[in-house]
Structure 1
């Protein structure tokens, strides 16, 4: 085995720790959303978020197509991704993709009030304005499972607690 293959093998077996996943989330202000409507038509969008007790919360308007999809209770996919300007390799951006169960939080409930306060603390006074608008609702995104990628050949399954479970693929990329 040559030196390059040995490095690749070591990299594949070097399992990242959960704090690395949590660091990516902490360095991200918005989450990318992938939703589907009742007819199966896809919609992608984004929303600023906060995380409370391993649940992600977004404040979204019914004027946006994705909000109806989220409010329907259908599962969605969310992605946290390294900023393009910070990446060393555009093809291998660090990212966390999660399947998430969605639920709407009741307006003026204890959870609503706590999360809206945290959204304001994180994203500013605009939250005071939009949280009072009737078309804005608070959606909880509960992670189900997902994957974390931090380079070529470095992809891992992630559980609902955002913990690394195992390497996603023991087969290296194949040469042509």
Structure 2
């Protein structure tokens, strides 16, 4: 038996612990957004975020196409991904992809004020300026389900609490 093959097989069966998901999020300052508009046309973008509990918050402008899609509560996917400069293998970048429900946060509510304070602490003085602009709104992104990948053959389903629930073995790679 090929020793490398058995080593790869055992790695695939070993569930990474949830802290790996948290570590990836902690190393990331912005989230990649995938939204759709009323006609079903896709749009991708990004936004700086903060995480409070299992909810992610972004402060976005209506000048950006994705903001209306997010504010209208349409299907949304978010991705946290390892920096290209830090990856050992470009085809196997560590990443967390989540389906998320979205909800606007009322301006000047307790949640708004707490999140804006956290955004200022995390992303600096620019938040003072943009949070006062009328076209900027605060959106909560609540995870529904997703997947975490940390290498070839190492993909896992993630629940709404960002916990790894099982190995994703529904698709096997095929040799030609």
TM-score computed with the length of structure 2 as normaliser: 0.98
Consecutive unaligned residues of structure 2, counting only runs of 5 or more, are none
Q: How does 1:1-176 map to 2 (within 5 A)?
A: 1-169=1-169, 172-176=172-176
- Please state how far the C-alpha of 1:172 moved relative to its aligned partner: 4.4
SS in 2 for 1:166: strand
Judged with a 3 Å threshold, the aligned counterparts in structure 2 of structure 1 residues 153 and 137 are, in CA distance, closer, same or farther, namely same
1:53 offset after TM fit, Å?
1.3
Deviation at 1:175, TM superposition (A): 1.5
- SS at 1:49's partner residue? strand
Q: How many Å separate the matches in 2 of 1:20 and 1:2?
A: 29
Q: What is the distance in 2 between the residues matched to 1:103 and 1:171?
A: 33
SS in 1 for 2:74: coil
Q: Distance in 2 between matches of 1:172 and 1:89?
A: 20
Count of residue pairs brought into register by the alignment? 176
Q: TM-score, normalised by structure 1?
A: 0.98
CA RMSD between the two structures? 0.9
Runs of 5+ in structure 1 lacking a partner? none
Moved runs in structure 1, 4+ residues, more than 4 A?
none
State the Cα deviation string for residues 76-100 of structure 1 (Å, max 9, x = none). 0000000000000000000000000
